[in-house]
Amino acid sequence: MGSETYDYVIVGAGSAGCVLAGRLSEAGASILLLEAGGADANPLISIPIGMGKMHQHHMHEWGDLSEPEPNLDGRRMPVTHGKVLGGSSSINIMAYTRGHPRDYDRWAQNGAHGWSYVESLPYFKRGEAWQGGEDVWRGGDGPIGTQWARTADPIYPS
Ligand SMILES: Cc1cc2nc3c(=O)[nH]c(=O)nc-3n(C[C@H](O)[C@H](O)[C@H](O)COP(=O)(O)OP(=O)(O)OC[C@H]3O[C@@H](n4cnc5c(N)ncnc54)[C@H](O)[C@@H]3O)c2cc1C
């Protein structure tokens, strides 16, 4: 091991760790990003439906189970989370979702200052590049590209 020094050490290269490392390095900081899992070279990671195959074979995940659930006859349920570069975002469904505005507002009312939906919205927008460009709700040039779901049964406008 060398004797390099870093401005920040980030443990876990999942969604939050990678965003943090990206933003800090854009600002000129040097980062050591540590990840317990391996590289994200598996092509299934880049294919939305590839998630099904990864789950079937328990690939790139920690394999954790819940405590025995009294309301499920004592069964222990899988608590899936990613163990790979990209973390859970490398094994997820790739559906872009935000929480319900009322949840954020309730958190703010209960003391989480700065977390109301109106205050959170600029950060959601900053992260998003919506296919239709920026509007009141959507971001236009963030790092996460978003689009309507592609489907043979067009329930959404194209
Ligand atoms: C199956 C599944 C499907 C999902 N589908 C969606 C979806 O479609 N849309 C959506 O918005 N959200 C979805 N989610 C949720 C979303 O992916 C997660 O909320 C998000 O990725 C969590 O980000 P995180 O940074 O908190 O944690 P993670 O992304 O899980 O990152 C944690 C990282 O830390 C690493 N780590 C942990 N301990 C250590 C250690 N001691 N040393 C080094 N590294 C360590 C882990 O290996 C992992 O890479 C899904 C989640 C799962 C599990």
pLDDT tens for each residue of 62-92? 999 999 999 999 999 999 999 999 999 999 9
Q: Among residues 35, 51, 33, which one has the least CA distance to residue 43?
A: 51
The pLDDT of residue 150 is above 80: no
Taking each helix axis as running N to C, give the angle between helix 117-127 and helix 101-109, from 0 to 180 degrees, rounded to the nearest 10: 130
Q: Which atom of ligand 1 is nearest to the CA of 15?
A: 25
Q: What residue ranges line ligand 1, CB within 6 angstroms?
A: 11-17, 34-37, 80-83, 87-89, 91-95, 97
What's this model's pTM, rounded to 2 decimal places? 0.88
Mean of the per-residue pLDDT values of the chain: 93
Pocket test residue of 64, 88, 98 for ligand 1, highest count of atoms within 8 A of CB: 88
The predicted structure's pLDDT at residue 15: 95
For 155, how many CA atoms within 13 A lie in the half-sphere containing its CB? 3
CA 140 to chain CA centroid, Å, is: 19
Gap from CA of 75 to ligand 1 centroid (Å)? 24
Percent of the chain with pLDDT over 90: 84
Q: What is the mean pLDDT of residues 10-18?
A: 97
The pLDDT of residue 103 is above 60: yes
Least confident range of 37-41, 73-77, 140-144, 146-150: 146-150
Structure-model confidence comparison of residues 149 and 30, the more confident one = 30
Structure-model confidence comparison of residues 154 and 46, the more confident one = 46
Gap from CA of 59 to ligand 1 centroid (Å)? 14
Gap from CA of 12 to ligand 1 centroid (Å)? 9
The pLDDT of residue 111 is above 80: yes
The predicted structure's pLDDT at residue 3: 74
- In whole angstroms, give the CA distance from residue 81 to residue 66: 12
Q: Which atom of ligand 1 is nearest to the CA of 86?
A: 49
